[in-house]
A = this chain, B = another copy of it.
Amino acid sequence: MENDPRRRLVEKIRRGDVAAAARLIRDIDNEAPAARPILKALYAHTGKAHIVGITGSAGVGKSTLTAGLTRIARNSGRSVGVIAVDPTSSRTGGAILGDRIRMRRHADDDAVFIRSLAGRGHGAGLSHAAYGAITVMDAMGKDIVFVESVGAGQDEVEIAHLVQTTVVVLAPNMGDSVQSFKAGIMESADIFVVNKSDLAGADRTAADIRNLLDTASPVSAAWMPVVLCVSALKNETLAPLMQTLDRHRKCRAARAGRLHRRRMFAVLGLLLRHLVWRELEDRIVNEGTCNALVDEICRRETDPYSAAEKLKRRLMS
């Protein structure tokens, strides 16, 4: 009995109900406990979508690129999900609004479903929410899901493990952009895109990336990272990118079992860390013992490192 409303919600989402999916993703982003049983039930219905990460610094044109790829996917009849991972303050809300405006042309298209995630800060919260939203869009039957994120912090390295194909976007003349990759992003890129290819310096940036790739040891023998120059506003430059995405997907198919296993290993680690982190936060806030330890540190009767070790022994079996 108690499960009936849950089962109905799962069925609604499988049928692609946009309002139900939007509510669930908002709950996921807010870490509402009610979302967990639904996500558990949805997992059985996932595995069909192509999950594509679009990452890069602010201002390189990720949203425009995602909108362009969405256009091309729709032209070939595919349904699209877009997850904009947006760790900016909810107080200003500028970037979320910006996404909305840029994606407005798809607003009347039922086959395009766009959500932004703000995350709740600490403890892999953002990548946790991203995995939840991916699960929902996959279960909805979307053919391709774009996960757009700013490629700077730890969250983004984690998000790279949740997608199947990682596109790293750069713009020419971003100064230290090639050098400023977060450790792990460079290594996880399947495709590098130099956007704004009509600007001077695009070829130079592409050459810089190719040089870096030449000096790096290849991550996989089955796929060599591809470097493409595009102009996200021009469809004809995006077609080769979409073809490369499809080619990467096919290339993965031959190793699907092993790659899925690796991805689920990352997912399990992420969900575990998130659960543990939340419980630590609860206990740190609630336990009087933590207050007592801070007092001892402030009186210099102990040091923070010894206090943390003591607390850890108490919490973990």
A residues at B contact (CB < 8 Å): 36, 39-41, 43-44, 57-59, 87-95, 98, 118-119, 121-123, 126, 131, 150, 152-157, 174-187, 212, 216, 257, 260-261, 264-265, 267-269, 271-277, 279-281, 284, 290, 293-295, 297-298, 300, 303-309, 311-312, 314-317
Least CB distance, A6 to chain B, in whole angstroms: 14
Residue numbers in B under 8 Å from A58 (CB-CB): 57, 175-177, 180
Q: Which of B39, B94, B181 contacts A305 (CB 8 A)?
A: B39
Evaluate contact between B179 and A92: CB separation under 8 angstroms: yes
Residue numbers in B under 8 Å from A59 (CB-CB): 174-176
CB closest chain-B residue, reference A314: B317
Evaluate contact between A176 and B304: CB separation under 8 angstroms: no
Given A44-B303, A94-B176, A152-B153, do A294 and B268 touch, yes or no (CB 8 Å)?
A: yes
Within the assembled complex, what's the spacing in Å between the Cα atoms of A44 and B303? 7
Given A153-B152, A308-B272, do A294 and B264 touch, yes or no (CB 8 Å)?
A: yes
Within the assembled complex, what's the spacing in Å between the Cα atoms of A280 and B183? 21
Evaluate contact between B178 and A92: CB separation under 8 angstroms: yes
Evaluate contact between B183 and A121: CB separation under 8 angstroms: yes
Residue numbers in B under 8 Å from A119 (CB-CB): 183
Q: Which of B43, B155, B180 contacts A153 (CB 8 A)?
A: B155
Least CB distance, A101 to chain B, in whole angstroms: 13
Q: Which of B40, B150, B304 contacts A303 (CB 8 A)?
A: B40
Within the assembled complex, what's the spacing in Å between the Cα atoms of A275 and B313? 10
Counting chain B CB atoms within 10 Å of each CB, the highest count among A90, A261, A272 belongs to A272
CB closest chain-B residue, reference A41: B303
